Amino acid sequence: MIKVCKFGGTSMADANAMLKVKQIIESDKTRKFIVVSAPGKRNKADIKITDVLYSCYDELLKTGSCEKNFSIIRERFVKIVEDLKLNIDINAVLDQTEKEICESKSADFAASRGEYLSAIVMSSLLGYDFIDAASMIRFDSDGNLNEDYTNDKVKSKIKGHDNAVVPGFYGKDSSGNVKTFSRGGSDITGSIIARGVKADLYENWTDVSGFLVCDPRIVPEAKVIKQLTYKELRELSYMGASVLHSEAIFPVMRERIPINIKNTFKPEDAGTMIVPSEMYNPADDSVITGIAGKKNFTVIFIEKSLMNSEVGFIRKVLSVVEHFGICVEHVPSGIDTLSVVIESGQLENGVLSDIVSEIRESVNPDYVHVIENISLIATVGHGMARRSGTAAKIFTALAEKGINIRMIDQGSSELNIIIGVANSDYENCIATIYNTFIK
């Protein structure tokens, strides 16, 4: 049995948190390969180490030095090492790190050093080998992860190591320079290592006891999801559920490796299991798994008689949007109508007006109407496909609360139902759906 464990920023925040991590790892000898994030916030007023490192880069560009901001990094890591009573010449490591940040003049390199330093400290604390992620993880010339090459490198590099600590968040590009994933990318690193060593389980340790059915800021009593599938996770993550990076499932999905979301500060909690569809076996017979959403979308509603008989109509509309480099979220349609749903932030500075004008010229519609300040809310669950009346139950509950549905979209898999409501109805809509299905 092999487990790969990734510990997030709150788990690395200070010496006390790191000691909890050590206790967790040593309680289970199958936890062999550890991926760590940079230290996160110790309290609400604190600052994440990664943010300070980006400030180091900004300071370097302005002054030629990063001494002021790096002193914050230095103070944090010196204290951690002193509190842990480790036999590391941490000042020498920090001196070299500061020098390399100045020499590289790279935002990615600077940002990556938080994970790098965390891994050095954690490997010393555990007595595990340190393996630099830059020696294994590769990006191609377009900046995308080179998955197969990376997997081969992980296999060869980790071979011969019984236990190791790997920094998350970064690798190397095709030119040999350090390149980072997007924020939260340590989740992806953990998944990559799990795939490379053919782990039996990938444990992702954070500061919450798993995925909640919905945002606890909206429904404080929201329950933990005990089990969900890769596909359900993708739907919920894409729509705003942020416990796990949405791309982290792809490497483990290829090997059908389950993911367990766990709480470093409540390790006794079962957390959430994320599994392939064939392993899905929920304890209860729940209809829905989770609810997630995002605010601030714009809907371009287009109507034209006999639209369905006009060859290439939808393609022409989408080509206009593509011309402006805009990503489309959803395209629900009827016989004579088409709605194009776009994140509002992409339509600023006159772009919306220009798109509407070009759509009029391109397809000569009978009517174009723009609806702004729309929220999208996804109700996700495997149980929806085998239960009739789920959509009716949602719509009835929302109608009783006086919530007007502006848009409806359901995928062919029947895994989710997405509705559009006014931003002002967002929180009430999520709470209503939760209370309708979750007892």
- Res 285: pLDDT: 66
* Contact status, residue 364 vs residue 412, Cβ threshold 8 Å: no
User: Is the domain of 212 the same as that of 100?
Assistant: yes
- Res 248: pLDDT: 82
Cα distances (angstroms) measured from residue 410 to each of 90, 249, 390, 414: 54, 23, 12, 7
* Domain membership of residue 412 as a residue range: 290-437
User: Is the domain of 270 the same as that of 343?
Assistant: no
pLDDT over threshold 70, residue 412: no
The verdict on residue 413 lying in a domain is: yes
What is the pLDDT averaged over residues 349-360? 95
Residue 42: other Cβ atoms inside 10 A: 15
* Contact status, residue 343 vs residue 387, Cβ threshold 8 Å: no
pLDDT tens-place string over residues 220-259: 999 999 998 888 888 887 777 777 777 888 899 889 999 9
- Cα(375)–Cα(293) distance, rounded to whole angstroms? 7
pLDDT tens-place string over residues 321-352: 999 999 999 898 888 999 999 999 999 999 99
User: Is the domain of 237 the same as that of 308?
Assistant: no
Residue 145 phi, psi (nearest 5): -60, 130
The verdict on residue 157 lying in a domain is: yes
Grade residue 170 by pLDDT with cuts at 50, 70 and 90: very high
User: Is the domain of 122 the same as that of 189?
Assistant: yes
| Contacts for 339 with CB less than 8 Å, ≥ 6 apart | 299, 300, 301, 302, 330, 331, 332, 333, 407
User: Is the domain of 187 the same as that of 297?
Assistant: no
CA atoms within 13 A on the CB side of 323: 15
User: Is the domain of 268 the same as that of 310?
Assistant: no
Q: Pick from 204, 262, 201: which is nearest to 3 by CA?
A: 201
pLDDT over threshold 90, residue 384: no
- Res 278: pLDDT: 85
Number of domains the chain contains: 2
pLDDT tens-place string over residues 175-207: 999 999 987 788 999 999 999 999 999 999 999
Mean pLDDT of the chain: 92
Indicate the residue among 257, 279, 301 that finishes a domain.
Answer: 279
- Res 284: pLDDT: 64
pLDDT over threshold 90, residue 8: yes
- Cα(439)–Cα(433) distance, rounded to whole angstroms? 11
User: Is the domain of 17 the same as that of 145?
Assistant: yes
pLDDT over threshold 90, residue 288: no
The CATH number that applies at residue 430 is: 3.30.2130.10
The verdict on residue 384 lying in a domain is: yes
- Res 353: pLDDT: 95
What is the pLDDT averaged over residues 412-437? 90
What is the pLDDT averaged over residues 412-423? 85
Indicate the residue among 219, 244, 279 that finishes a domain.
Answer: 279
Question: What's the pTM value of the predicted model, to 2 decimals?
Answer: 0.86
Cα dihedral 174, 177, 183, 187 in deg (nearest 10): 70
DSSP assignments along 48-70, one per residue: -HHHHHHHHHHHHHHHS--HHHH
Indicate the residue among 279, 313, 341 that finishes a domain.
Answer: 279
Q: Pick from 133, 117, 135: which is nearest to 33 by CA?
A: 133
